[in-house]
């Protein structure tokens, strides 16, 4: 079959797009993107051309831009072009030139595809009869060799099974309709059809890892295994199927192990330790919370550690709490102390809840037993009060006890997890804690038969308890 027939077959088999869809072609001017333009034109697809000038190769970059402009004129298709100060962007972001160029081009391509209508001043050439308004997909000219190179680079870097599927033919609105074709087949088609293209001199440089792989490693291996490209192409298909099965299995493990409690994930230690393969399952659980593969051993050590031990990522902590490990966000509420000047007050604290103060006569007052309500002897309460986070060293006299107890020990006795502890606030008067909010009042401020007025403090949490 011809390359054109294989092109149409691949699009249909992969369900890349429908014939009526409008395509934006990313065109550098190299042989791959030139062949993509020619095939789309021959098949009658509706497309426009977009070109990025990264201004990295002086006059050569301007030559490429002019070439692609003429290519758009040849096919009578709309032309988008943009110049980027790539070196400045890379310097500001502290990233490599390659990464900078990738970020810039895909951000711009996405902007064009997602905009509701074409920005007229970006279209340098536009046929008078063109009435398109939106693009359905961005098409790039990645081919089979690109996919194999990507797979090998990921394998050497140790990116795991997800890196072995190579380049995907469709990701969201990005499609790669040439992914079935080898570089050799693309050049052969261009030569036979007398197509012109431009060469990027940076492709000859071995300072880039991909180029070194392309120019030296793959040719060396091909001398030993002449069918290397075909064999690796088959392996990519197998790896994609294997990845599907892998993720199905991981999903089943996660369903058995993970318990969502508020904004925390709770994992039973004993059940996790029996899971096989343990390292892989732990990695798949923690990677979504910005933990690295290098921290898997730390998590395994955490399973046998005492309660309170934890490790951190940039966004989360994994905490050992008795027979559980808890994955919780790092953003602990650091609300400042709040002063309550008088009894007629209602507080609303972001990400915590509301606190309402009121006073009642003991006459006809019915005592309540909820932990979210504190009922105190008004004669013993002097304003101002302070609502604050608890801290190490705090102590109080828990209701029913004659001896003081440190809050840290009180929380341990009540089996609070590390994250639950961090959410606890207290109400203080003259450096004495009168209520550990939502848990226990202080014995010294309780209601007695002699009490005539009651200070009632009600707490309404803004979140369900973990």
Are 184 and 84 part of one and the same domain?
yes
Q: What are phi and psi of 48, to 5 degrees?
A: -130, 165
Here the CATH number for the domain that contains residue 287 is: 3.30.465
Residue range of the domain that includes 208 = 3-232
CA angle 212, 216, 221 (to 5 degrees): 130
Beta-carbon contacts of 206 under 8 Å, excluding residues fewer than 6 positions away, are 212, 215, 216
What distance in Å separates the CA atoms of residue 171 and residue 165, rounded to the nearest whole number?
13
- Which pLDDT tens digit goes with each residue over 358-396? 999 999 899 999 999 999 999 999 989 999 999 878 999
What distance in Å separates the CA atoms of residue 1 and residue 9, rounded to the nearest whole number?
10
Q: What is the pTM of this model?
A: 0.66
Are 348 and 296 part of one and the same domain?
no
Are 218 and 359 part of one and the same domain?
no
Tokens at 301, concatenated? 């050590």
Picking from 48, 72, 463, 97, the residue whose alpha carbon sits closest to that of residue 263 is: 463
Answer whether residue 380 is part of any domain: yes
Are 227 and 297 part of one and the same domain?
no
Are 318 and 423 part of one and the same domain?
no
- Which pLDDT tens digit goes with each residue over 203-241? 888 888 899 999 999 999 999 999 999 999 999 999 999
DSSP collapsed to 3 states, 150-208: HHHHHHHHCCCHHHHHCCCCEECCEECCCCCCCHHHHHHHHHHCCCCCCCCHHHHCCCC
Predicted confidence at residue 420, as pLDDT, reads: 87
Predicted confidence at residue 122, as pLDDT, reads: 45
Tokens at 445, concatenated? 């401020």
CB 78 within 8 A of CB 118: yes
User: 89: phi > 0 → left, psi -120 to 50 → alpha, else beta; which?
Assistant: alpha
Number of separate domains in the chain: 3
Answer whether residue 201 is part of any domain: yes
Are 149 and 12 part of one and the same domain?
yes
Are 417 and 288 part of one and the same domain?
no
Q: Which of 274, 307, 329 is the last residue of a domain?
A: 329
Q: Helix 3-13 and helix 183-192: axis angle, to 10°?
A: 130
Are 350 and 304 part of one and the same domain?
no
Are 351 and 440 part of one and the same domain?
yes
Predicted confidence at residue 263, as pLDDT, reads: 80
Beta-carbon contacts of 26 under 8 Å, excluding residues fewer than 6 positions away, are 33, 50, 52, 105, 109, 138, 139, 140, 141
Here the CATH number for the domain that contains residue 352 is: 3.50.40.10
Largest CA distance in the chain: 105
- Which pLDDT tens digit goes with each residue over 91-123? 999 999 999 999 999 999 999 998 744 444 444
Q: Which of 270, 295, 329 is the last residue of a domain?
A: 329
Answer whether residue 247 is part of any domain: no
Q: Give DSSP secondary structure letters for 60-107.
A: HHHHHHHHHHHHHHHHT--EEEEE--HHHHHHHHT--HHHHHHHHHHH
Are 37 and 167 part of one and the same domain?
yes
Strand partners, 261: 264
At 19, which helix (H) or strand (E)? none
Answer whether residue 244 is part of any domain: no
**CA torsion angle 272 275 281 283 (round to 10):** 50
Is the preceding omega at residue 174 within 30 degrees of 0, hence cis? no
Q: Which of 300, 329, 358 is the last residue of a domain?
A: 329
Here the CATH number for the domain that contains residue 119 is: 3.40.50.620
Sign, CA dihedral 411-413-419-423, equals negative
Are 10 and 36 part of one and the same domain?
yes
Predicted confidence at residue 133, as pLDDT, reads: 53
Say which DSSP state 216 is in.
I
Predicted confidence at residue 406, as pLDDT, reads: 93
Answer whether residue 448 is part of any domain: yes
Are 314 and 406 part of one and the same domain?
no
Q: 40 by DSSP, 3-state: which?
A: helix
CB 7 within 8 A of CB 43: yes
Predicted confidence at residue 186, as pLDDT, reads: 98
Answer whether residue 242 is part of any domain: no
Answer whether residue 241 is part of any domain: no
The parts of the chain modelled with pLDDT lower than 50 are 116-132, 332-334, 464-466
Answer whether residue 243 is part of any domain: no
**Block residue for tokens 């290397």:** 228
Do the bridges between strand 264-268 and strand 259-261 make them parallel or antiparallel, or are there none, so unpaired?
antiparallel
- Compute the mean pLDDT over every residue in the chain, rounded to the nearest whole number: 90
Q: Whole-angstrom distance between the N-terminal and C-terminal Cα of the chain?
A: 62
């Amino acid at each position: 079959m011809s390359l054109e027939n294989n092109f149409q077959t691949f699009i249909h088999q992969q369900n890349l797009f429908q014939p009526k869809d409008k395509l934006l072609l990313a065109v550098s001017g190299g042989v791959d993107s030139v062949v993509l333009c020619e095939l789309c034109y021959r098949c009658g697809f509706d497309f426009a051309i977009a070109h990025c000038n990264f201004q990295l190769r002086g006059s050569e970059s301007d030559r490429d831009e002019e070439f692609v402009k003429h290519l758009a004129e040849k096919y009578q298709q709309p032309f988008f072009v943009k110049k980027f100060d790539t070196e400045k962007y890379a310097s500001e972001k502290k990233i490599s030139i390659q990464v900078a160029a990738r970020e810039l081009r895909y951000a711009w391509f996405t902007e064009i595809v997602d905009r509701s209508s074409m920005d007229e001043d970006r279209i340098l050439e536009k046929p008078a009869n063109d009435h398109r308004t939106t693009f359905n997909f961005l098409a790039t000219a990645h081919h089979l060799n690109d996919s194999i190179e990507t797979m090998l680079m990921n394998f050497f870097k140790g990116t795991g099974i997800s890196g072995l599927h190579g380049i995907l033919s469709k990701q969201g609105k990005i499609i790669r309709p040439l992914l079935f074709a080898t570089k050799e087949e693309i050049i052969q088609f261009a030569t036979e059809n007398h197509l012109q293209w431009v060469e990027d001199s940076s492709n000859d440089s071995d300072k880039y890892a991909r180029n070194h792989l392309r120019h030296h490693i793959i040719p060396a291996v091909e001398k030993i295994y002449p069918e290397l490209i075909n064999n690796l192409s088959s392996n990519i298909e197998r790896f994609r199927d294997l990845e599907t099965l892998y993720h199905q299995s991981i999903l089943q493990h996660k369903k058995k192990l993970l318990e969502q409690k508020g904004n925390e994930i709770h994992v039973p230690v004993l059940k996790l330790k029996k899971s096989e393969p343990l390292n892989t399952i732990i990695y798949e659980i923690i990677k979504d919370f910005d933990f690295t593969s290098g921290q898997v051993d730390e998590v395994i050590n955490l399973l046998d550690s005492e309660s309170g031990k934890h490790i951190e990522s940039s966004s989360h902590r994994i905490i050992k709490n008795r027979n559980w490990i808890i994955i919780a966000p790092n953003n602990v509420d650091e609300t400042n102390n709040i002063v309550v000047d008088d009894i007629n007050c209602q507080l609303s604290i972001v990400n915590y809840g509301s606190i309402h103060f009121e006073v009642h006569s003991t006459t006809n007052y019915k005592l309540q037993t909820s932990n979210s309500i504190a009922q105190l002897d008004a004669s013993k309460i002097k304003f101002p009060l302070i609502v604050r986070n608890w801290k190490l060293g705090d102590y109080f006299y828990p209701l029913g006890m004659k001896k003081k107890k440190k809050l840290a020990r009180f929380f341990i006795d009540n089996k609070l997890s590390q994250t639950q502890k961090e959410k606890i606030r207290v109400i203080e008067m003259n450096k004495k804690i009168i209520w550990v909010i939502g848990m226990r009042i202080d014995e010294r401020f309780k209601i007695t038969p002699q009490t005539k007025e009651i200070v009632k403090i009600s707490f309404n949490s803004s979140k369900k308890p973990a």
